[in-house]
Amino acid sequence: MNRKSTITKEQIRRWLRETDWRRLDTLFGRADRVRRDHVGDEVHLRGLVEISSHCQRDCLYCGLRRQNRILSRYRLSAEQILACARRAVHYGYGTVVLQSGEDSGIRREWLTEVIRQLKRQTHLAVTLSLGERDRADLAAWRHAGADRYLLRFETANAHLYNRIHPPRRPGLPDRFDLLRTLRQLGYEVGSGVMVGIPGQTIDDLADDIEWFGRLDLDMIGLGPFLAHPHTPLGQEYAEASDRPADPRQVANSELMTYKAIALVRLVCPDANIPSTTALASLNPQNGREEGLRCGANVIMPNLTPPAYRRQYEIYPAKACLQEEPGRFDQQLKQRIAALGRRVGVGPGAAPHYLERRKAEVPS
Ligand code: 5AD
């Protein structure tokens, strides 16, 4: 566990089963105080740029899966990416997140050069979220100046993981191996899971939350599983909806996601935790704010050029489809102020990362 964790595994399980709102309010209040004490009142904004919707994987839940032939694919040019980064600077964001499907068309050398340019032209922190890549790629990008890497392990239950991810060539590093590699390379490391994957039990989700602490992560993102009709898991979910649910099944609901966010905050007090777009997709009115009120301290406004957003449909009805960057930015900042919080300035690294780096590299 993260050494600062203030909760036991049994308590995590109990909270995940809790349905009484009054009692849950005490959980959310406690998570909110832990958030304030460890990462403060700043809400860090990360400009998300979805740089390619090509994907060579076939994850059973994701709309970008290779076999989804209905989706037309795009890959942004270096100049388009740099233009998005300039928007991030314009809005005062401290970080740009480059995300894509697992796309071997994103060549190591090409992205190395994009990262160099980004670091030369802006003061932005650069986060990558590009799936499972070779150690040599990860090392080159780190060397070029990339600061952070996000790679969700999706579920720590190996059986469930294998059910929703087609097998890969044996001998390849798994996501846990890659998270270790990223850490060795000096990245600030993020991971996460989906909440309410069909077949995921309360015990599984409690294990996931415990894993976040054990992996000593700097960033943890989690959002509800959202059924995509053009995926096998989305279809299975739709067909099962008229059958009674297994009582152990984790709901892919807003409330379950808030509980999970709050519990992650208690397990990893000084990590950065976003209130995710998937959550906002379940509740476009105030899902993001509610996430911020029960433990989260980061929001990732979408800066992908609007013309491409429909082609990056991981799940349907993504909140960002309705969000024009300029207006969204203004509203977001007002909403953060209305919560009594401040917009973060600077790169906004997780205190957890800064502390562990101090311990690793004695000055
Ligand atoms: N519902 C919710 N989240 C999803 N992701 C992918 N597909 C879905 C879906 N159908 C999440 C995965 C991935 C991240 C980029 O998006 O957790 O790691």
Chunked mean pLDDT (size 10), the chain, 363 residues: 82 96 97 98 98 98 97 97 97 97 98 98 98 98 98 98 95 96 98 97 98 97 96 94 86 97 98 94 93 98 94 87 85 96 96 92 62
* Dist. CA 200 → ligand 1 center (Å): 15
DSSP string, 100-138: ESS-TTS-HHHHHHHHHHHHHH---EEEEE--S--HHHH
Write down the pLDDT at residue 241. Answer: 82
* Residue 362, pLDDT score: 64
Pocket lining: 278 vs ligand 1, CB cutoff 6 Å: yes
Q: How many residues does the chain have?
A: 363
* Whole-number Å distance between alpha carbons of 257 and 276: 10
pLDDT of residue 132: 97
Pocket of ligand 1 contains residue 314 by CB under 6 Å: yes
Q: Which atom of ligand 1 is nearest to the CA of 193?
A: 17
The whole-number pLDDT of residue 363 equals: 55
Q: What is the pTM of this model?
A: 0.97
Quick one: pLDDT at residue 54? 98
Give the residue, out of 314, 315, 320, with the most ligand 1 atoms within 8 A of its beta carbon, to mutate for a pocket test. Answer: 314
Is the CB of 153 inside a 6 Å radius of any atom of ligand 1? no
* Nearest Cα residue to atom 7 of ligand 1: 62
How buried is 114 (Cβ within 10 angstroms: 0-12 exposed, 13-18 middle, 19+ buried)? Answer: buried
User: Which amino acid residue places its CA nearest to atom 18 of ligand 1?
Assistant: 152
Q: Cα(212)–Cα(210) distance, rounded to whole angstroms?
A: 5
| Alpha carbon distance 128, 141 (integer Å) | 9
Reference 191, options 159, 153, 228, 145; nearest CA is: 153
What is the CA(70)–ligand 1 centre distance, in A? Answer: 18
Q: Give the span between the Cα atoms of 340 and 354, in whole angstroms.
A: 26
Contact (Cβ atoms closer than 8 angstroms) between residue 25 and residue 239: no
Question: What is the CA(278)–ligand 1 centre distance, in A?
Answer: 8
Cα 360–Cα 118–Cα 278 angle in degrees, nearest 5: 80
User: 33: Cβ–Cβ under 8 A, 6 or more apart, which residues?
Assistant: none
Q: How far, CA to CA in Å, does 231 sit from each of 61, 154, 237, 245, 253?
A: 6, 16, 10, 20, 20
3-state secondary structure 243-255: CCCCCCECCCCHH
What's the CA dihedral at 65, 304, 309, 176 to 10 degrees? Answer: 20
- Tokens, residue 181: 């590699």
Does residue 237 have its Cβ closer than 6 Å to ligand 1? no
